[in-house]
Structure 1
Amino acid sequence: MLQSLSSYRIFYTVAKTQNISKAAKELYISQPAISKSIQKLEESLGCELFRRSSRGVLLTEEGELLFTHVSSAFETLTLGEDKLKNSLELGVGHLKIGVSSTLCKYMLLPYLKDFTKRYPHINISIVCQSTNESLQMLEENKIDIGLIARPENQKTLNFSNVAEIEDIFVATEAYLNVLNARGISSDAILQHSTLMLLDKHNMTRQYIDDYLQENKIETRDLIEVSTMDLLIDFAKTNLGVACVIRQFVQNELANKELLEIPLGFPIHKREIGFAYKNTLKPSKSLELFIDFYQNFHPGE
C-alpha cells in the first residue's frame, strides 16, 4: 500500500461528504490539512481524484474507481469493529480446557455447569487426555488451562488447588471371600489378587507404581484400563481389586457394593487444581474463568 491508512480515511470522508469543510469537522482536523493530504495522495497515485464544484468536490473517474475499493475496505473495518464491540459487550470468547476423562466427569462438569450459565457466550472446548498430555499441550500453547494433578515441576505454571483426592484399593465382598477361601490374609491381598490399574500413560498410574515399589508390593496378575469408570465397573463385576479415587466411589462404599482394602501403609493424598502458563497474558475468557473458579464452591 503506497499511502497510510489515515490518507485513505481522509479521501474516503471527503468523497462521502463531497465537501472539504464537512470532512474537516467529521475528522476533527483543519481544512488545509485535508487539502494537503488529498494533494499528496493525488501526486503519489499520479492522477486527479477530485474536481471542485460550486457546491464542493466531486470524484473524477479515477477517484470513483479508487473510492469503490476504499469504501469496501472501510466498511469491512467498521463491520469488524462492530462485531468486536458486540463480542466484548456479550462476553463472547473461547476457552480450551485439557482434562482427563475421570476429572472431567467428576470434577470439571460442576464448574462448567455454573460457568456456562454465567457466561453463555463463551465457547468451551474440552480436550480429554492424561495430565501428562495436558501439561505438554499447556507448554505448546495448545490449550488455555488444564485441570490436573499438581505437577512436580510447575515453574512456568500458575497452579490453584481446588480439591484433594485419595487413592484406595477396592473390591466386592464376593471377590474378597474367594481370596479368603484360598487362605490369603488381608495384608497380602494386593500381592495375590488380580490388580486393576489405569494404563502407564496416566499420572495416577505412575503415582501408584511408585507406592507399590516403595512398599515392596509385587503384583502377579494385572489388568490395565484407560478410564476410572472402567476400573469401577470391572471391580463391581468381581474381576479383581481396582485402584480408584475414594471421592468417586462414595456411593459404592456407602452401600457396600465395593469394600475398601485395608493398607499397612496409606497412600498420600494428592492435590488437583487448575493450571495455566504464567509466561503468557491470559485472554479475557481465561481471566473470567480464573476469577470464577477461585470463588466457586461446588455444592453450594
Structure 2
Amino acid sequence: MDQYLPLYHIFYTAAKCGNISRASRELYISQPAVSKAIRKLEESLNTTLFKRNSRGVSLTEDGALLFHHVQDAFSSLDTAEQLLERKHSLGISHLRIGVSAIMCKYVLLPYLQDFIRLYPHVKIAISCQSTYQTLELLQERKVDIGLIGSPNSQKALDFFPVQSIQDTFVASETYLNNLSLRESDPNLFHTATFMMLDEENLSRQFVNDYFKLHDIELKNVLEVSTVDLLIEFAKIGMGAACVIKEFVRPELDNHELMELPLDIRFPSRKVGFAVLKENRELYPVREFLELTLQ
C-alpha cells in the first residue's frame, strides 16, 4: 500500500476540490498528472472513483466509500501533527489513567498533584471503574496507567507497588453498645449488620474468600454502592462497614469509628501502578512512574 500513498493524497484533494483543475493548483502539479494518478489508483482498486461532468468531477458510490476512510486517515494525520507541534512548543502530551473511585480519592490524588506541578502542560484523563475494568482498558490500550491491586498475572504488565492496604470492619461505639443491649448472642457474625460493596468488587471478593476459607458465615449483609457511603453509614450507626483500614485512619484516630473485635486479621494487599511493558518508556508514562517511585 505504501507505493499508493501519494495517489491517495491526490484522490483526496481532487475529491475535496470537485475539480481536476483546482486540485492541480492546490497540489502544484499538472492536470494530466492528477488525472493519471487517479486512473492508476482506479486500476489498482479495480473500480471507478469519479464521474466526470461539465462542472468537474463527483464521487461514485465506491469513490464516496473510499473518500470517507481516506478523509479520516488524513484528518488523523493533521491532528497528530498539531499535537506534536503543541508538545514540542509547550511540552504538551496526554496521560490516561484508569483507577477506581476510592483509589483515586485516597491513593492517586497526592501523586497526581505532584505530577501536575512538575508537568502542567500534560493533559490528563481519568477513567474511574473497577480494577477488572481497568485491566481490560490497559490491555485494549485505552488507558496508559492503571492504579490497581496486585494483579494475579503480570505477563504483559509491569506492576509498581506503592502502598500496602488491609481490609477491616468498622462501626461506631454507639452502634456496638446498642447491639450488645438488644442481642443476647455475643457472636457479632450472627448479630451485626455487615455493610459491604457489591459482589463484583475486588475487595468484597477478597473478604468473601477469606470468610469461606475460615468457615465464617455472615447472617446479615447490606450491600452499599460506594465506600464513601459505607463510611458515612457506619458513622451514623447503621452497621459495621467493610473498608480499607488506611482510608479511615482519621476516623479511627479520633474515635469516631472503631474496629470490630472479631478476632480475625485480613492479610494485607499491595496496590500500585500497572503499565503495559511496551509502554513503560513512553512519555509521559515514564515521567509519572519515576515520580511515584521516588
TM-score, normalised with respect to structure 2: 0.71
1:171 aligns to 2:160 (yes or no): no
Q: Is the 8 A contact 2:188 2:262 kept in 1?
A: no
Deviation of residue 81 (structure 1)? 6.0
Comparing 78-87 and 253-262, the one that deviates more: 78-87
2:149, 2:169 → 1: CA distance? Answer: 19
Aligned partner of 1:92 in structure 2 is 92
Q: Kindly tell me: are residues 86 and 168 of structure 1, through their superposed partners in 2, closer, same or farther at Cα, counting changes over 3 Å?
A: same
Alpha-carbon spacing, 1:79–1:238, altered in 2? closer, same or farther (3 Å):
closer
The 8 Å contact of residues 98 and 145 in structure 2, kept in 1 or not, is answered as: yes
Q: Which amino acid aligns with 2:223?
A: E
Match of 2:33 in 1: 45
For residues 78 and 271 of structure 1, what CA distance do their matches in structure 2 show? 42
Aligned to 1:136: 136
State the one-letter code of the partner of 1:271: K
Look up the match of 2:153: 153
Where does residue 72 of structure 2 map in the other structure? Answer: none
User: What does residue range 164-203 of structure 1 map to in structure 2 within 5 Å?
Assistant: 164-181=164-181, 182-185=183-186, 188-203=187-202
- Taking only aligned residues, the RMSD between alpha carbons, in angstroms, comes to 2.9
Identity %: 43
Unaligned runs of at least 5 residues, structure 2: 8-28, 36-76
Partner of 1:103: 103
Give the match's secondary structure for 1:217.
coil
Relative to structure 1, the CA distance from residue 283 to residue 189 in structure 2 (aligned partners, 3 Å threshold; closer, same or farther) is same
Equivalent in the alignment of 1:16:
none
Q: Secondary structure of the residue that 2:189 maps to in structure 1?
A: helix
Distance in 1 separating the partners of 2:5 and 2:104:
53
- Are 2:260 and 1:266 equivalent residues in the alignment? no
2:210 maps to a residue whose letter is Y
Contact 1:132 1:201 in 2 (8 A): no
Q: 1:221 to 1:273 in 2, by over 3 A?
A: same
**How far apart, CA to CA, are the structure 1 residues paired with 2:109 and 2:208?**
28
Residues 135-144 or 84-93, more deviating: 84-93
2:44 match? none
Alpha-carbon contact 2:279-2:285 (below 8 Å) kept: no
- CA displacement 1:125-178 (0-9 Å, x = unmatched): 111111111111111111111101101112111000000011111111111112
1:223 aligned residue: 222
Gaps of 5+ in 1: 6-40, 48-76, 296-300
Q: Which has the larger radius of gyration?
A: 1
**Aligned residues, how many?**
231
**Residue aligned with 1:98, SS:** strand
Distance change (3 Å), C-alpha of 1:223 and 1:81? closer
Question: In structure 2, what is the Cα distance between the partners aligned to 1:209 and 1:121?
Answer: 43
Distance 1:189 1:282, change over 3 A: same
Query: 1:142–1:84: structure 2 CA closer, same or farther, 3 Å change rule?
Result: closer
